[in-house]
Each structure stands twice: as structure tokens, then as C-alpha cells.
């Protein structure tokens, strides 16, 4: 089975031109089939503020009303996505920028209202793995932003970590898939003040201990839960760390295993 790498990058890399360029250079040198998934929340918040639109967050998740959805579509699907695609073309990578609506690749349903009404936020239902595979087979490199659709003409803001994991699960029927969650830290840290205190391997047992000891807290919990969900549904490997984990020289990052 051929291998496929799904790499997800967050706002801190996107916001810094030097970091973004360094990452895209690493990404362009990565061998084999690959897909890039990006967010852009910090940029969206900045643009919304300039337009006089208040950004509301609950537990680190954005409330997406109609106005905010317009900004997200402009920023994620336009400004950020096309900037990344253009930079990849300059690095001789034939990239194609996509939302989940393109080639009907990722369908979601609007998140049901429970304690909080998140507005136009989507929970992924279906990934069209065969359609995405056609792009890969044609030697294109898909670059997905964090927008999906409901199949009835409605775009939906969708968590980029979830998009990366659900694409990986969908593509695992065709490829041996690995996910790389790239952010500014070296990995999951035992001590937040010691950047080298990386927990190199986390399985279901060590995860319980890390939760009990409050080493893993807050926003890292849904990220790790996402990782286990992916591994339980056909994904071969999941890694968390900074962008240098895409090189063969660096082995100081976190690998999640069952």
C-alpha cells in the first residue's frame, strides 16, 4: 500500500512569514504523496476586527454567525489558502487549494445546539476519498482550508484538526496514512517551561496518567482525542510536534499509539 502524509498547520505558522516559508520548504521536500490542511483563525480574528465584527469564542471554539462565516470564507478559502498555494508553486509543488465543497470532498452537518449554539459550524459526516485520490493520482497536492459544506449549498466553519483526521481516516482505505500535527512546541511537554521535556510516546494508558497529573489539559485534550479516534479508524501513525519533525534528522516529537 502506498503511503500518504496529511500535515496540519496552525495559526502561529501561518501568521509568521519566515516560519511559513521554512515550513513550506520542508513540506515541499517531503517525499511521497501528501495533503496539507490549514486553519487561519488568528488572521480571521484580525480581519474581522478591522471590519468591526466581534469574534466570540467559547472553550476555545469560535461562534460562527453569518457575518463571521463571510470573513472566514474570505480569509481561509481566499487570502490564506491562495497565499500558501502560490508559495508552493514557487517551490515547484503543483498545489491545488480546496474547501470541502470543492469536488464534494468533505460534507458536514451543522452542529446541533446543545449548551452552546456555535452557528455555522460543521461536524464532518463524509470524505470523498476517491475524488481526492483522483487529484493525487494526477500529481496534484491538495491544500485544504478549514471550510466544509452540507451538500445543500451551505458552507460551514470546521475544525482543522478534525478535517486532517477525517481526511486521513477516509484515505486510509486507499493509502497507509500518517498525520503530522505541526505547531510551535516540540510536542506534548511534561513541563511547559522546559521546551525539551517532550513525551515521546503516548498510548491509551499513559494518556490517562497524563490527564490525571494534569500534564495534558485544555485545548490539548480534544487534539489527543482526535488522534486516538483516527488511530481507531484505520490511520497508521499520528505525530505531534514542530515542523522539524518532517525532517529525518529530528526525532524529538510526540507519537500517539493505541
Q: Which residues are annotated as a binding site for substrate?
A: 40-41, 62, 157
Going by the DSSP 8-state scheme, the letter that residue 75 receives in this structure is I
How far is Cα of residue 95 from the mean position of the Cα atoms in its chain?
A: 17
Calpha distance 255→227 (Å, rounded): 10
What number of helices (H) and strands (E) belong to the chain?
Answer: 9, 14
Calpha distance 243→59 (Å, rounded): 26
Going by the DSSP 8-state scheme, the letter that residue 110 receives in this structure is E
> Which residue ranges make up the annotated binding site?
40-41, 62, 157
| Per-residue b or e along 85-124, where b marks 16 or more CB atoms closer than 10 Å to that residue's CB | bebbeeeebebebbbbbbbebbbbebbeeeeeebbbbbbb
Cell of 85: 498555494
Amino acid at each position: 500500500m502506498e503511503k500518504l502524509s496529511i500535515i496540519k498547520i496552525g495559526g502561529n505558522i501561518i501568521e509568521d512569514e519566515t516560519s511559513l516559508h521554512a515550513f513550506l520548504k520542508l513540506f515541499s521536500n517531503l517525499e511521497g504523496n501528501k495533503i496539507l490542511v490549514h486553519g487561519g483563525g488568528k488572521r480571521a480574528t484580525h480581519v474581522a476586527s478591522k471590519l468591526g465584527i466581534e469574534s466570540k469564542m467559547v472553550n476555545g471554539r469560535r461562534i460562527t454567525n453569518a457575518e463571521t462565516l463571510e470573513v472566514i470564507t474570505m480569509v481561509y478559502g481566499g487570502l490564506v489558502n491562495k497565499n500558501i498555494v502560490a508559495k508552493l508553486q514557487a517551490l515547484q509543488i503543483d498545489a491545488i487549494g480546496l474547501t470541502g465543497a470543492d469536488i464534494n470532498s468533505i460534507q458536514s452537518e451543522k452542529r446541533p445546539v446543545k449548551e452552546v449554539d456555535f452557528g455555522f459550524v460543521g461536524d464532518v459526516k463524509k470524505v470523498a476519498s476517491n475524488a481526492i485520490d483522483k487529484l493525487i493520482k494526477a500529481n496534484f497536492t491538495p491544500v485544504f482550508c478549514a471550510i466544509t459544506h452540507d451538500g445543500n449549498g451551505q458552507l460551514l466553519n470546521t475544525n482543522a484538526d478534525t478535517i486532517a483526521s477525517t481526511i486521513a481516516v477516509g484515505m486510509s482505505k486507499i493509502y497507509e496514512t500518517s498525520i503530522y500535527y505541526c505547531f510551535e512546541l516540540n510536542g506534548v511537554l511534561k513541563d511547559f517551561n522546559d521546551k525539551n521535556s517532550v513525551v515521546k510516546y503516548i498510548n491509551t494508558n499513559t494518556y490517562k496518567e497524563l490527564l490525571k497529573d494534569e500534564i495534558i489539559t485544555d485545548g490539548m485534550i480534544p487534539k489527543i482525542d482526535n488522534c486516538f479516534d483516527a488511530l481507531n479508524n484505520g490511520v497508521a501513525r499520528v505525530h505531534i510536534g514542530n515542523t522539524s519533525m518532517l525532517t529525518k534528522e529530528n526525532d524529538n516529537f510526540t507519537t500517539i499509539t493505541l
